[in-house]
């Protein structure tokens, strides 16, 4: 019962009502309704032995031990004090009734006592006058009465402070995730209200970095010290992940402030004194920059940009006669993307000179290296036949060059190696004789 809410209404009656109340009685009722309500008491019947000042029998109504009324008698009786039809309103949500009777209840007309209803009556806190302690109105702007309570609200552009009763200019805070935007102190360019605790979070897509650009009109109260301004009471704190937060104040605009981060938190704080004219900034974003790829020996990086940013792609092409190599293996193609962390997702490949492999063996002939080495690109070889027993078709020597397609090709761009044709009818030793 102790934890249950008090009833919103009820009935209280003298003992044995509607029979006459006993003599020598002293009984107390502690009535209550829920907090936020006043207790209203309405008598439906009161018949207590009348006497001057209700000396013999009385029903006393108290609030916090303070006597609000003392009733006895009957309606229209000459003596006593009858409440009539007017209800009795408690200053609070409690009321105490005390019935006291003397030792006699005169015959033949015995008195019946009393019967009363009590009920909770809402308090219109908003209509109450301002407290006398000087703490200001209940709600600094708008007050809304509710059953058993009240609530405060603020006009557009303001927001309720944590005390739930006073309003302050809205910070306009929140999360800013657009690629660019403007932030300013509440009420800017008017001076900043006191008691601010505004938070602004700029959070854009990873892979982009935020640049803050404060306007020249920048003023946050500061306390001058030998070491420069001390942001003791008012400050704008710039927090960048993995970096020490930086408190800004003073009259000099920070100007352009690169953050190198895709998320920045700004906390603007003013206390209840001093003056800050406020601040404004425009933030922009740019893609994370990747280091320009180094030059490729015997190859080139495309496209060739002055700088490379997040999501840029590069390709590497080798010069003719060279092949793409990565981690010791040849690759057909190479493309790398600038990642959101500013790193290329693949390290650069190398261009190695191609080789055509060992030239095909020539039956009844051989091959001679004319220039170049290790069968590399542009190496030149020459096929020859085992003369005088074989000869190349046509009799000419044939040079082959290691081409970019890794084949040995002759001057006519033909990859087919020659054939050695047997030499017929030409003995190495001819018959000779001098006798005639």
CB atoms within 10 A of CB 419: 14
The length of the chain in residues reads: 436
| Whether 410 contacts 399, CB under 8 Å | yes
Nearer to another protein, 279 or 383 (CB): 383
| Whether 93 contacts 37, CB under 8 Å | yes
Strand locations in 226-312, DSSP E?
228-230, 235-239, 246-248, 256-258, 263-269, 280-287, 289-290, 299-302, 308-309
Nearer to another protein, 316 or 385 (CB): 385
Q: Note whether 369 binds another protein by CB under 8 A.
A: no
With contacts defined by CB under 8 A, name the span among 39-47, 85-93, 375-383, 419-427 that binds another protein. Answer: 419-427
Q: Note whether 434 binds another protein by CB under 8 A.
A: no
Going by the DSSP 8-state scheme, the letter that residue 188 receives in this structure is: T
Nearer to another protein, 258 or 366 (CB): 366
Among 242, 427, 434, 436, binds another protein (CB under 8 A): 427
In the three-class reduction of DSSP (H, G, I as helix; E, B as strand; rest coil), residue 272 is classed as coil
Q: Note whether 426 binds another protein by CB under 8 A.
A: yes
Among 4, 227, 333, 428, binds another protein (CB under 8 A): 428
Nearer to another protein, 55 or 389 (CB): 389
State which of positions 76-115 bind another protein (CB under 8 A): none
Q: Is 57 exposed, middle or buried (0-12, 13-18, 19+ CB in 10 A)?
A: buried
Site string for another protein, 305-344 (x = CB under 8 A): ----------------------------------------
Closest approach, Cβ 360 to another protein, in A, equals 18
Q: Note whether 364 binds another protein by CB under 8 A.
A: yes
Q: Note whether 423 binds another protein by CB under 8 A.
A: yes
Q: Note whether 394 binds another protein by CB under 8 A.
A: no
Angle at 336 between CA 330 and CA 342, to 5 degrees: 140
With contacts defined by CB under 8 A, name the span among 77-85, 134-142, 336-344, 420-428 that binds another protein. Answer: 420-428
Nearer to another protein, 412 or 424 (CB): 424
5, 6, 190 from 2: Cα distances, Å: 8, 9, 53
Cα–Cα dist 142/139, whole Å = 6
Q: Note whether 390 binds another protein by CB under 8 A.
A: yes
Nearer to another protein, 86 or 436 (CB): 436
In the three-class reduction of DSSP (H, G, I as helix; E, B as strand; rest coil), residue 409 is classed as strand
| Residue among 137, 285, 283, 141 at smallest CA distance from 205 | 285
Closest approach, Cβ 436 to another protein, in A, equals 13
Q: Note whether 389 binds another protein by CB under 8 A.
A: yes
Q: Note whether 429 binds another protein by CB under 8 A.
A: yes
Count of residues interacting with another protein (CB under 8 A): 13
| Whether 331 contacts 356, CB under 8 Å | no
Token output for 384: 């020859």
Among 2, 78, 396, 431, binds another protein (CB under 8 A): 431
> In the chain, what is the greatest distance between 2 CA atoms, to the nearest angstrom?
200
Beta bridge mates, 32: 94
| Whether 230 contacts 248, CB under 8 Å | no
Phi, psi of 294, deg, nearest 5: -70, 165
Q: Note whether 373 binds another protein by CB under 8 A.
A: no
Q: How far apart are the first and last CA of the chain?
A: 159
Among 15, 228, 255, 422, binds another protein (CB under 8 A): 422
| Whether 353 contacts 298, CB under 8 Å | yes
Closest approach, Cβ 426 to another protein, in A, equals 5
Closest approach, Cβ 362 to another protein, in A, equals 13
| Residue among 11, 9, 110, 14 at smallest CA distance from 71 | 14
With contacts defined by CB under 8 A, name the span among 2-10, 228-236, 240-248, 421-429 that binds another protein. Answer: 421-429
Closest approach, Cβ 365 to another protein, in A, equals 11
Nearer to another protein, 272 or 434 (CB): 434
Residues within the interface to another protein (CB under 8 A): 364, 389-390, 422-431
């Amino acid at each position: 019962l102790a934890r249950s809410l008090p009833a919103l209404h009820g009935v209280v009656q003298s003992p044995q009502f509607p029979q006459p109340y006993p003599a020598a009685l002293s009984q107390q009722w502690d009535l209550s309704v829920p907090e936020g309500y006043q207790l209203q008491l309405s008598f439906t019947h009161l018949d207590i032995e009348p006497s001057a000042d209700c000396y013999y029998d009385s029903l006393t109504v108290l609030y916090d031990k303070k006597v609000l009324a003392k009733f006895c008698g009957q309606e229209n009786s000459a003596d006593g004090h009858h409440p009539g039809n007017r209800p009795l309103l408690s200053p609070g949500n409690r009321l105490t009734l005390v019935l006291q009777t003397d030792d006699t209840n005169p015959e033949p007309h015995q008195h019946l006592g009393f019967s009363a209803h009590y009920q909770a009556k809402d308090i219109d806190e908003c209509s109450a006058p301002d407290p006398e302690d000087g703490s200001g109105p209940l709600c600094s702007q708008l007050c809304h009465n509710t059953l058993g309570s009240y609530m405060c609200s603020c006009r557009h552009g303001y927001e309720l402070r944590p005390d739930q009763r006073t309003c302050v200019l809205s910070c306009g805070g929140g999360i800013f995730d657009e690629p660019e935007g403007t932030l300013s102190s509440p009420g800017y360019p008017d001076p900043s209200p006191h008691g601010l605790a505004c938070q602004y979070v700029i959070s854009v897509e990873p892979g982009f970095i935020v640049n803050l650009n404060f306007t020249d009109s920048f003023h946050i109260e500061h306390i001058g010290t030998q070491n420069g301004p001390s942001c003791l009471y008012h400050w704008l704190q710039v927090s960048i992940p993995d970096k020490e937060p930086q408190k800004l104040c003073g009259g000099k605009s920070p100007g352009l402030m690169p953050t190198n981060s895709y998320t920045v938190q700004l906390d603007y704080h003013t206390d209840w004194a001093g003056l800050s004219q406020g601040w404004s900034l425009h933030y922009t974003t740019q893609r994370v920059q990747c280091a320009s790829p180094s030059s490729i020996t015997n190859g080139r990086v495309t496209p060739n940009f002055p700088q490379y940013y997040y999501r840029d792609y590069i390709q590497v092409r080798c010069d003719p006669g060279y092949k793409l190599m990565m981690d010791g293996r040849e690759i057909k193609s190479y493309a790398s993307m600038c990642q959101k962390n500013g790193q290329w997702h693949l390290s650069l490949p190398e261009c190695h000179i191609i080789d055509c492999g060992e030239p095909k063996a020539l039956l009844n002939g051989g091959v001679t290296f004319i220039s170049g080495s290790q069968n590399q690109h542009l190496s030149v070889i020459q096929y020859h036949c085992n003369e005088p027993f074989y000869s190349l078709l046509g009799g000419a020597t044939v040079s082959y060059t290691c081409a970019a397609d890794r084949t040995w090709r002759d001057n006519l761009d033909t990859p087919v190696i020659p054939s050695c044709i047997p030499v017929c009818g030409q003995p190495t030793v001819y018959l000779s004789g001098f006798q005639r």
